[in-house]
Amino acid sequence: MRKQFRPIVVCALFVVLTGMSMSMVAQIPGVTPPDHIVIVIEENHSFSEIIGSSSAPYINSLAQQGALFTNSFAIEHPSEPNYLDLFSGSNQGITSDACPVGPFSGANLGSELIAAGKTFTGFSETLPAAGSTVCTSGAYARKHNPWVNFSNVPTSSNQPFTSFPTDLTTLPVVSIVVPNLNDDMHDGTIQQGDTWLQSHIDAYVQFAKTHNSLLIVTWDEDDSSMSNQIPTLFVGPMVKTGQFGEVINHFNVLRTVEDLYGLPHAGQSANVSPITDVWNTTVPDFTLSAAPASLAITQGTMGSSTITVNPINGFSGSVNLSVSGLPSGVTASFNPPSATSASTLTLTAAGNAATGTVTLTVSGTSGTLTRTTNITLTVNAPAVPDFSLSASPASLSIRRSTSGTSSITVNPTNGFSGSVSLSIAGLPAGVTASFNPSSTATTSTLTITASSTATRGTSTLTVTGVSGALTHTTTISLTIRRH
C-alpha cells in the first residue's frame, strides 16, 4: 500500500510451489517442474533502490546466485491492483488499495491449482486467525492478501504465517507468504526487511538447492522514480546465473508459473509469453534481439533494424518473423521473412504517417516456439528549413552626428539557404538606418546614423528578416548621446 506521507513503501509476498510429480511434463520445453517455487514480492521500490544497495545485502546475494531481470516492470499503481495482477492476471477492476473488495470468481493461480488436483495455501504474518477476512489486524493488511478476495479459493487456504511448516517437504503445491507491515519494509527499513527475508526464507533457499526448488523475488511496483521498473530475480538449481534484459512484468511471471505446471492461463497471462531463457535446459530454443532497438524516422522516409535469431542449445530452425503495433501510415517488411540467423526489418513511414513514439513487438515463430523482442519507433514530421536572426553587437551607443554598426547574421536551421530581406523598426526621430546588403543569406552590416538633432535616450530597435512565408526578428538596444 502507498502512504501519502511516506515516499517509499514496501511489502513482501512469497509464493511457494511444491509437491509436483517428477513425471509431470512442463509446458516450458526442457524444464522439469520444480518441486517448490517461492515468489517474493516486495513493494514500492525501484530497481536502483535495491540492486547494489548496501541496505539489502541478502537480496543482492540472491541476485548473484541466480538470474537477475534488468527490465522487469510492475503493471500499475498502487499496490493492491498489482497483487491481483500477479495472482489472477487482472486487477479485477480494482484501482486503489480499497478494503474489502470482491468476492471475485475469476480464474487465479490458486483456483487453477485446486482445479488441477493440486493444493494452494496463503500464509500471512499476523493474520489473526485462519480464514480471517478482516481488513487490518495489528500489522496485517488484507490489501496485500489477494487470495482472500476470491470465492473459488477456500477459506482453509488462508492461513497465518505461524502455520507455515518447518518441514518444507510438507508445503502445499503453492504457498504465498506475506510478512506483516513491520517486516516487509513497509513500516520498517529496507535493511530490516532484508534481515527478515534471510531469517525466514534462507532455510528454504538452502533446501531448494538439493530439492529441485526455485525462489523468485520481485516487487509489486516502484516508487514512481523509474517508470515502474522493479527488480525481479530467479534463484534455484534449474536457473542460469546472470543478468537477463528481456522486458517482463507480473503477467509474465504468472504465465511462467502456470506453464511450469501445465495450468490454464488466468486473465492477461494468456496474452504474454512465459520466461524461457533462464532455464538450464537441453531443448533447442532461441531468443530474438533487435539492433538498434530504437528507431526515429521522418514522415516520407524509412529506417531499418537487424533482427537476430540467437540460438540456444543447438537450435538451427527457421524462424518466421512478424511485427505488431505499427502506427497508422507505417508499413514493415522483413528481408528475409524467415531467418535462421538474421533479418533486416525495414519500416517505411508514409507522408501522412501518425507521428509520435510507439513500442513495436517483433515476434518469431518456429514450430511451437514463439519469442518476441521490442523496438521503440518514433515517427517525426519533416524538419522545415528555417532561420533565426542575431545582432552583434546587440547594443549600440552613439553620439549625435555619428554612426554605429552592427552585424546582422542569418542563422540557418534544417538546411535553410534562402535570401532574407531585412528591415528595421523603432528608430527614434533624427536616426536613419541602412543594410548592406539589404537582402542576404549570411550576414549584412546595419549602419545606424544619428543626426545632430536626433532624439537622445535609449530605444529598442526591431530588425525583421523575411524569406517567403518565414519572418523572424532580433532586437538592438540603441542609445543616442549628446556628446
Query: In this predicted model, what pLDDT tens digit does every residue of 411-424 receive, in sequence order?
Result: 999 999 999 999 99
Point out the least confidently predicted range of 53-57, 59-63, 164-168, 333-337: 164-168
Q: What is the pLDDT of residues 394-410, one digit of tens each?
A: 999 999 999 999 999 99
Residue 408 confidence (pLDDT): 98
Three-class DSSP category at 440: strand
146 touches 100 (CB < 8 A):
no
Span 265-277, average pLDDT: 95
Rounded to 5°, the CA angle 301-304-308 comes to 170
Residue 261 confidence (pLDDT): 87
Query: In sequence order, what DSSP letters do the residues of 170-228 get, joined into one string?
Result: G--SEEEEE--TTTSSSSS-HHHHHHHHHHHHHHHHHHHHTTTEEEEEEES---SSSTT
Residue 210 confidence (pLDDT): 80
Kindly provide the residue ranges of all beta strands, DSSP E only, lying in 107-194, ordered along the sequence: 120-124, 136-137, 140-141, 158-160, 174-178
Q: Tell me the percentage of the chain whose pLDDT exceeds 70.
A: 95
Check residues 464 and 221 and name the one with the higher pLDDT: 464
Which whole-number Å values give the CA distances from 5 to 2, 25, 83, 100, 225, in the listed order? 9, 49, 22, 23, 16
14-271: CATH, from 3.40.720.10, 3.90.79.10, 2.60.34.10, 2.60.120.10: 3.40.720.10
Give the CATH fold of the 386-481 domain.
Immunoglobulin-like (2.60.40)
Q: How far apart are CA 242 and CA 269, in angstroms?
A: 25
Where does CATH 2.60.40.10 sit in the chain?
285-380, 386-481
Q: How far apart are CA 476 and CA 35, in angstroms?
A: 80
Residue 310 confidence (pLDDT): 94
Q: How far apart are CA 429 and CA 451, in angstroms?
A: 9
Q: Which three cell numbers stand for residue 402?
A: 555619428
3 touches 9 (CB < 8 A):
yes
Q: What is the pLDDT of residues 305-360, one digit of tens each?
A: 999 999 987 788 899 999 999 999 999 999 999 999 999 999 999 999 999 999 99
| pTM: predicted TM-score of the whole model, two decimal places | 0.57
Where does CATH 3.40.720.10 sit in the chain?
14-271
| DSSP H/E element including 79 | helix 79-88
Q: How confident is the model at residue 287 (pLDDT cuts 50, 70, 90)?
A: very high
Q: Name the residue with cell 547574421.
A: 409
β-strands 395-399, 470-481 pairing? parallel
Q: How confident is the model at residue 383 (pLDDT cuts 50, 70, 90)?
A: confident
Mean pLDDT for all residues in the chain:
90
Check residues 157 and 23 and name the one with the higher pLDDT: 157
**Span 285-380: which CATH code?**
2.60.40.10
